[in-house]
Amino acid sequence: MPRARGEETQQLQLVANNVERFLHLVEQLLTRDAQAFLEPDKPCEQRVSPIIQACCMSWQLEADQKDIALCLEDDTEGVSVLVAPYHLEIMIGNLLSNALKFTSRYGCINVAVKDLDHQLVVSVSDTGKGMPEDVRKNIFDSYFKEDTDFNPEAGFGLGLSTVKQLVEVYAGEISVVSYQGVGSEFILTLPLYREGCVRTSVGEGKAIEAAQDELPKLLVASVDEELVSCLAALLQDYALVIAYDGYEAVILAKENQPDIILCDLMLPGLGGLQVRARLQEEPKECHAAFVLMVENSSQDHIAVDVDSVLTKPFEPDTVLNHIRFLLQGECPPFQELISGSGELPPEMVITSWRKSVMLLVEEQFHHANFGTATAAKALYMSERSLQRKFKQEFGMPFKDYISQFRFEQAKRMLSQGDRISDVALSCGFNDPSYFSARFKGYFGITPSQYVANITVNSR
């Protein structure tokens, strides 16, 4: 029964993710050109990774029903192509539909997406029955149907023909390799509009890939292309992800887990504060510090949970200082200003995240192995994100907070007359001698001396 509930929850999450993706696509249609879908001469920038992942997710249930393994290898973070809305979905969706149609139960479908020589390369391969030579040569013809003796389901219809026509509209290519009894592989290429966010070294002309995962990651959400370009040039020491509307910002934040989000107050689809609210609904999916970028106007409407505010136009040093403060877990200038105004004292702001952390510590402090790693896992966060956010919320490192909580509990239990060895075990110390040494280091006296002082004072 629990397993059934878990599967139902996963399916509901899949539906929610797809709805979010489709809302983003609808917003693209409404804000960029409602006729772009029918007019290929009016393309707009489409980010590849979210679309590919959404396509795979939308076919995942059907793959599961046939016990087919659907695998995705996506190396296109930050990559975009210039096509009309939905066209990339149509191309990939048709290839996936075709692969699922001709792959037997317990087979495998692999989708590989790469940025290669200024081209987007998408490969959809399957372990189906493959095609004979005469079928392969005519596979992209309109209304082509294979011999019913070869396949009782008969036919590829307009799907692959449509894919070929769309690919050629955007100066791309599509080909197929197939062997009977082995499977087929469709390879689609399109010119890139925007390269990925991996930076290059001066004079080398080659991407620094090894250190990219170690760089702090920033998500910039803005429709102002000049602002995006300036930030990209300014923040070359960080890994950047770019979103151009509110729905895309939510999707990319959940997928990429950035350390900081720089978001315009006004965005198509979801505004900046709506993006923040949407991410807070599922805190386990994104723990980024949130910086709101606003025009030169009053900031009275800014929500408490926004970590900082940048007023445009801003100086480069201001941006870098905000990022430095937040990455170090310190209060940025905007929060210090609020604290000094007396309007929103930080100690009065008990966020839902802070409550959940306090409750977790209360429930787990007696376990000797409870620390940053186990807490991060329980809160669905990386250790680095937990340390940064905790210091920002509580003003101290997480490990110091646990120590403080344990020793305060130890004092309370000793005051109640509990034995020192029992108190040590109850507060997460397996060795009473080590507990006594740590207790003395924290309070300046041993547990025995503390108990003796209580006894003397009570007489």
- The answer for residues whose C-beta is within 8 angstroms of residue 238's C-beta and 6 or more apart is 215, 216, 217, 218, 323
Pair of tokens at residue 73: 């290898």
Check whether domain 212-344 has CATH 3.40.50.2300, yes or no: yes
184 - beta bridge partners?
Answer: 178
What's the length of the chain? 459
Q: Is the pLDDT score of 200 beyond 60? A: no
The answer to whether the CB of 276 falls within 8 A of the CB of 290 is yes
Q: What is the mean pLDDT of residues 271-283?
A: 77
Residue with tokens 């930076």: 199
Give the gyration radius of the chain's Cα atoms.
28
pLDDT band at 208 (very low <50, low <70, confident <90, very high): very low
Give percent of the chain above pLDDT 70. 73
3-state SS record for 172-241: CEEEEEEECCCEEEEEEEEECCECCCCCECCCCCCECCCCHHHCCEEEEECCCHHHHHHHHHHCCCCEEE
Q: What's the pLDDT at 113?
A: 92
Lowest-confidence pick of 324-328, 333-337, 359-363: 333-337
Q: What's the pLDDT at 161?
A: 81
Lowest-confidence pick of 93-97, 296-300, 378-382, 394-398: 296-300
Q: What's the pLDDT at 326?
A: 78
Q: What are phi and psi of 377, to 5 degrees?
A: -65, -40
**Which among 235, 263, 232, 265 has a CA at the least distance from the CA of 250?**
263
Q: What's the pLDDT at 186?
A: 92
Q: What's the pLDDT at 121?
A: 92
Q: Is the pLDDT score of 31 beyond 50? A: no
Provide the edge-to-edge strand list for the sheet that holds 173-179: 69-74, 108-116, 119-126, 183-191, 173-179
The answer to whether the CB of 427 falls within 8 A of the CB of 410 is yes
CB atoms near residue 222 (< 10 Å):
22
Pair of tokens at residue 163: 């894919």
384-437 pLDDT, tens digit each: 777 777 777 777 788 888 988 898 899 889 888 899 999 999 999 988 888 888
CB < 8 Å & 24+ apart, contacts of 377-380: 379/283, 379/284, 380/283, 380/284, 380/285
The DSSP code for 332 is P
Q: What are phi and psi of 155, to 5 degrees?
A: 120, 145
Q: Tell which CATH classification among 1.10.1040.10, 1.10.10.60, 1.10.3720.10, 3.10.450.50 matches the domain 352-458.
A: 1.10.10.60
Q: How far, in Å, CA of 136 to CA of 146, rounded? A: 10
Lowest-confidence pick of 149-158, 254-263, 347-356, 405-414: 149-158
Task: Give the DSSP H or E segment for 67.
Answer: none
pLDDT band at 331 (very low <50, low <70, confident <90, very high): low
The answer to whether the CB of 216 falls within 8 A of the CB of 238 is yes
Lowest-confidence pick of 112-116, 349-353, 455-459: 349-353
41-73 pLDDT, tens digit each: 567 778 888 888 888 888 888 888 889 999 988
Four-CA torsion 199, 205, 209, 210, nearest 10 degrees:
-110
Maximum C-alpha span of the chain? 102
Q: What is the mean pLDDT of residues 275-302?
A: 68
Q: How far, in Å, CA of 274 to CA of 277, rounded? A: 5
159-195 pLDDT, tens digit each: 788 888 889 989 999 998 888 888 899 999 999 887 7
What is the sign, positive or negative, of the torsion defined by CA atoms of 153, 158, 161, 164?
A: negative
Lowest-confidence pick of 71-75, 201-205, 210-214: 201-205
Q: What's the pLDDT at 180?
A: 85
Q: What are phi and psi of 131, to 5 degrees?
A: -130, 145
Q: Is the pLDDT score of 28 beyond 60? A: no
Q: What's the pLDDT at 284?
A: 59
pLDDT band at 85 (very low <50, low <70, confident <90, very high): confident
Residue with tokens 């940053």: 372
Domain ranges (residues) in the chain: 2-191, 212-344, 352-458
Q: Is the pLDDT score of 377 beyond 60? A: yes
Q: What's the pLDDT at 37?
A: 42
Q: How far, in Å, CA of 114 to CA of 437, rounded? A: 56
CB atoms near residue 107 (< 10 Å):
20
What is the sign, positive or negative, of the torsion defined by CA atoms of 208, 211, 216, 219?
A: positive
Pair of tokens at residue 330: 């310190």
Give percent helix, percent strand, percent coil of the chain, each to the nearest 5: 50, 15, 35
Q: How far, in Å, CA of 344 to CA of 331, rounded? A: 14
**Which among 291, 300, 351 has a CA at the least distance from the CA of 321?**
291
98-142 pLDDT, tens digit each: 899 889 888 999 999 988 888 899 999 999 888 888 888 888 875
Lowest-confidence pick of 130-134, 143-147, 149-153, 268-272: 149-153
**Which among 255, 284, 290, 287 has a CA at the least distance from the CA of 272?**
290
Q: What is the mean pLDDT of the chain?
A: 75
The answer to whether the CB of 292 falls within 8 A of the CB of 302 is yes
3-state secondary structure at position 91 = helix
Residue, of 456 and 423, whose pLDDT is higher? 423
What's the pTM value of the predicted model, to 2 decimals?
0.42
The CATH class given to the 2-191 domain equals alpha beta
- Strands 108-116 and 69-74 turn out to be parallel
pLDDT band at 20 (very low <50, low <70, confident <90, very high): low
